[in-house]
Amino acid sequence: MRLNLLATAALWLTSQARADDDFSARVAEILSRPTFADATVGIKVTDLGCGNVVYSTGSDAPLIPASNQKLLTSTVALAKLGLDFTYDTKIFGSCPISKKGGRLAAIAADLSARGLKKITGKVYADGSVFDSKFLGDGWDPDDEPYYYSAQVAGLNTDLNVVKVNVAPGTVIGGPPVIKISGVAEADEKYVKIQSTVKTTASGGQESLVFDRVRGTNTIILGGSIPQAAGSVTFTITIDNPNAFTAYRLAVALNNAGISVSRNPTTPGKKPKGAVELASSTSEPLSALLRLFLKPSDNMYGEALLKKVGREADPRKPGSAATGTPVFANYLEGEGIDTAGVEIVDGSGLSDLNTVTARFLIDLLVHNKETFTAEEWDAWYNALPIAGVDGTLRAASWAPRPRAMFMPRRAR
């Protein structure tokens, strides 16, 4: 199967750029390499200070954006939700207690301090603020176990992943020691481990592999781990973030000394007459942008897309179906040419998204010209810096532009 390298490069330079022959020649030499023989490439480099186009080739070619999609998502989220927007989560019970608390562990501690010692029922989740389609259209099913393809729901916690730690056992040929997010395998109730991993003699090669059975929380581990090896940690997605959040709250309550069943429950609607006991408020969007853009976190992209859709029509659960029209309407209203643009998700995981390098440059210039100083600073400072931080830490470009540059191999 032939692999095409689809590269969409949208860069803007904060230092004075010179569209000289040397720069163009360097780019042409790179694109002439065998790596790009079968590639479709779109590049546009613009000096943000004066608006001059430094370099351009194939800038109107519609290409899969990968994480460049986050530039669009963050722009629309900022425009529609505002810098001060927060996600609010509420905890309800059948009877009232004195006052409200903070996030999961803090909520549990606060409830315990107010005298709550036992919950005779169970902890349930109502994530109906968003739809129950936890994965995006065009996402590769083979990616589902991996952290970057985490499901997204109305309730999300721990980035909807677990950390599975595998350490060598004490007996050669015996099982390893497994912990899930710091909890012994025997004490974990949300995910189930099916392991054929064997402990081998020191000096051998570690060969661990993992998978998660689709539609379940059964994690499969295989391979071997030598006795002298250190432990290996995998970050693996869970199924159904709503139920996972309820489970994690039940764990937090138990850790705070409040007796309640930790058995996972099926999410449903909040009962009529339930009393609010506590609430949890996220950081504002101005801070969430850094958590979203610096590490290129896909979960934030989908949650923002769905929230924008929910805000546009509160009668419906937030979804990609309600969020993507808001994106399209915003671009039209701002006069940004969307030729070659298809919007399917908020993270860029979908191979059904397309953008052009020209569109991305137009979006960046638009933001610089229309954002308030406070909005621009929050957004611009949330972008990864080449060679410094985030997903561009390993890049070694000079000068160091802030950018979202993500080559994508088409399947």
Residue 404, pLDDT above cutoff 50:
no
In contact, 158 and 180? CB cutoff 8 Å: no
State the alpha helices, DSSP H only, in 194-255. Answer: 241-255
Residue 54, pLDDT above cutoff 80:
yes
Between 400 and 62, residue with greater pLDDT = 62
Between 325 and 388, residue with greater pLDDT = 325
Report the pLDDT averaged over residues 277-297.
Answer: 93
Residue 128 confidence (pLDDT): 95
Residue type, 47: D
Mean pLDDT of the chain: 88
Residue 126 confidence (pLDDT): 94
Alpha carbon distance 150, 170 (integer Å): 34
Residue 299, pLDDT above cutoff 90:
yes
Residue 10, pLDDT above cutoff 70:
no
Please state the domain extents for the chain.
4-81+317-410, 88-132+241-281, 141-237
Residue 80, pLDDT above cutoff 90:
yes
Residue 285, pLDDT above cutoff 80:
yes
In contact, 225 and 203? CB cutoff 8 Å: no
pLDDT digits (tens, 9 = 90+) for 191-214: 999 999 999 999 899 999 999 999
Alpha carbon distance 376, 48 (integer Å): 13
- Percentage of the chain surpassing pLDDT 70? 89
In this prediction, residue 114 has a pLDDT band, given cuts at 50, 70 and 90, of confident
Residue 289 confidence (pLDDT): 97
Residue 48 confidence (pLDDT): 77
Residue 91 confidence (pLDDT): 86
- CATH code of 4-81+317-410, in short, is 3.40.710.10
Q: Which two tokens stand for residue 68?
A: 């460049």
Alpha carbon distance 175, 241 (integer Å): 30
Residue 397 confidence (pLDDT): 52
pLDDT digits (tens, 9 = 90+) for 242-255: 999 999 999 999 99
Residue 165 confidence (pLDDT): 98
Catalytic site residues? 67, 70, 296
Report the pLDDT averaged over residues 316-331.
Answer: 98
Residue 76, pLDDT above cutoff 90:
yes
Report the pLDDT averaged over residues 258-267.
Answer: 92
- CATH code of 88-132+241-281, in short, is 3.50.80.20
Residue 103 confidence (pLDDT): 78
Q: Which two tokens stand for residue 392?
A: 């561009």
Residue 205 confidence (pLDDT): 93
> Which residues are CB-neighbours of 29 under 8 A, at least 6 positions away?
none
- Residue 15, exposed/middle/buried by CB under 10 A (0-12, 13-18, 19+)? exposed
